[in-house]
Amino acid sequence: MLPPDDLPAIDHGARVRHVVDELGETDALLITDLVDVRWLTGFTGSNGWVVVRPDGVVLGTDGRYGDRARAETTGSGVVVIAETNRSRLDGRMHEALSGATAVGLDDSATSHRAWVALAAEHHLRATPSPVGRARQVKDEAEIARIACAAAATDAALEQVESMLFESGVTEADIRNELEYRMRLHGADDRSYATIVATGPDHAARPHHEVSDRRLAAGDTVVIDVGALVDGYHSDMTRSWVVGEPDDHQREWYSLVALAQAAGLAALAPGVAARDVDEASRAVFREAGVDEWFLHGTGHGVGLAIHEPPFHGPTSTDTIREGNVVTIEPGLYRGGFGGFRIEDLVVVRDTGPEILTHSPKRSLAA
């Protein structure tokens, strides 16, 4: 993997120019979603907004972040405004929007209270964020960061996997060691709350919260783990049995592996995301176990851990070249436990490029 310091630069200036070109009939765009703000400008603070006009882009933030915002947006063409007084900062936003005949604002990323307050001053138009759509397709600099995060996860899991078979180890022990070692391998942080789910009850919960339960012989084990590098996430799941698996465990693990392979095979530019889900789900349906598949087959990953496209039965998304997505079918049942296998994949016109390389253990007899 590339060391984090050697990652290719992200061209925020090109992103700014792209969004300006996408304004269309709206002569101003207000962006309040902080993930969109970061993607567009490079600013990583916890408070900020962006106004996009045909003649320029303004980033507003509070006084804590002035120097940081200017440093992080260098070369992007963005003008930074920093005010310590909230009222003055709000006033600067209204100034930046002044004279606009229509202000585009993503209503899905705006509270009702904020919408009403802004509508008192400006003519708002509910506008799907052009930044949100552009974010779905990753450039090579973004893919390099996601791959770096995935590599840190692979390296950590390789070092920690043997703990599953040691006496007295708890779910929390494994979680703590994974998160520590991901940082040793270049991650800035964990991507999300690491899942270590074990045994007949905990492993039956797709989003189990780690406990002090000790692993025991016969347990099914699900570990869902990811790292964060320069704001970009990775996501991976692997499953095991502690000790010798029984025939039921072998059958279900094999079905999950087949469903995952089917989802990967279905993934291509132009395919409906629901068809990717159906490819995995059909494996379970044909085996008569689809009622134990409790979630969708996957989702996009980038600056957010869950973002479009979403692979689910009711999804209206379409797979695009450059999407980075998960394929993660699973089976779960209380009293049995569960299995999930998940890879992180770049959608290429030449076929899926898998970024997660930790071995998928066979439970074959």
- Looking at the predicted structure, is the pLDDT value of residue 229 above 90? yes
pLDDT tens digits along 186-196: 999 999 999 99
C-alpha triplet 63, 65, 70: angle, nearest 5°: 115
Residues 170 and 303 in one domain: yes
Cα(131)–Cα(42) distance, integer angstroms: 13
The per-residue pLDDT for 4 is 57
288-294 long-range contacts (CB < 8 A, ≥24 apart) are 289/252, 289/255, 289/331, 292/331, 292/332, 292/333, 293/259, 293/329, 293/330, 293/331, 294/206, 294/330, 294/332
pLDDT tens digits along 254-281: 999 999 999 999 999 999 999 999 999 9
Residues 102 and 213 in one domain: no
Helices 140-160 and 171-184, interaxial angle, to 10°? 130
Give domain status of residue 361, yes or no. Answer: no
Residues 259 and 316 in one domain: yes
Residues 47 and 87 in one domain: yes
Q: Please state the domain count of the chain.
A: 2
Percent of the chain with pLDDT over 70: 98
Of the candidates 163, 172, 169, the residue with the CA atom closest to the CA atom of residue 193: 172
Evaluated on CA atoms 9, 14, 15, 16, the torsion sign reads positive
Give domain status of residue 250, yes or no. Answer: yes
- Looking at the predicted structure, is the pLDDT value of residue 80 above 90? yes
Using pLDDT thresholds of 50, 70 and 90, give the confidence band for residue 3: low
Give domain status of residue 364, yes or no. Answer: no
What CATH number should be reported for the domain holding residue 172? 3.90.230.10
- Looking at the predicted structure, is the pLDDT value of residue 131 above 60? yes
Using the 3D structure, point to which of 116, 136, 156 is the last residue of a domain.
136
Arithmetic mean of pLDDT, 128-153: 95
Residues 182 and 309 in one domain: yes
Q: Identify whether the C-beta of residue 10 lies closer than 8 Å to the C-beta of residue 230.
A: no
Residues 145 and 132 in one domain: no
Give domain status of residue 285, yes or no. Answer: yes
Query: pTM for the full model?
Result: 0.95
Using the 3D structure, point to which of 81, 112, 136 is the last residue of a domain.
136
Arithmetic mean of pLDDT, 149-170: 96
The per-residue pLDDT for 26 is 78
Residues 229 and 269 in one domain: yes
- Looking at the predicted structure, is the pLDDT value of residue 238 above 80? yes
**Comparison of pLDDT for 363 and 132, the residue scoring more:** 132
- Looking at the predicted structure, is the pLDDT value of residue 129 above 80? yes
Q: Which domain holds residue 9?
A: 4-136
Residues 81 and 221 in one domain: no
User: CB 116: neighbour CB atoms within 10 A?
Assistant: 11
Using pLDDT thresholds of 50, 70 and 90, give the confidence band for residue 6: confident
Using the 3D structure, point to which of 111, 136, 161 is the last residue of a domain.
136
Residues 68 and 158 in one domain: no
pLDDT tens digits along 82-126: 999 989 999 999 999 999 999 999 988 899 999 998 999 999 999
Chain centre distance of CA 40: 17
Phi-psi region of 143 (alpha: psi -120 to 50; beta: other; left: phi over 0): alpha
Arithmetic mean of pLDDT, 62-82: 94
Give domain status of residue 78, yes or no. Answer: yes
Arithmetic mean of pLDDT, 70-91: 93
**Comparison of pLDDT for 348 and 365, the residue scoring more:** 348
- C-alpha count within 13 angstroms, C-beta hemisphere, residue 201: 5
Cα(342)–Cα(112) distance, integer angstroms: 37
- Looking at the predicted structure, is the pLDDT value of residue 71 above 90? yes
What CATH number should be reported for the domain holding residue 61? 3.40.350.10
Q: Identify whether the C-beta of residue 232 lies closer than 8 Å to the C-beta of residue 145.
A: yes
Residues 105 and 206 in one domain: no
- Looking at the predicted structure, is the pLDDT value of residue 245 above 80? yes
The per-residue pLDDT for 356 is 98
Q: How far apart are the first and last CA of the chain?
A: 35
Residues 275 and 162 in one domain: yes
Percent of the chain with pLDDT over 90: 88
Give domain status of residue 359, yes or no. Answer: no
Q: Which residue has the tokens 């797979």?
A: 319
Residues 128 and 187 in one domain: no
Using pLDDT thresholds of 50, 70 and 90, give the confidence band for residue 5: low
- Looking at the predicted structure, is the pLDDT value of residue 1 above 90? no
* Amino acid in the structure at residue 356: T
34 burial (CB, 10 Å; 0-12 / 13-18 / 19+) is middle
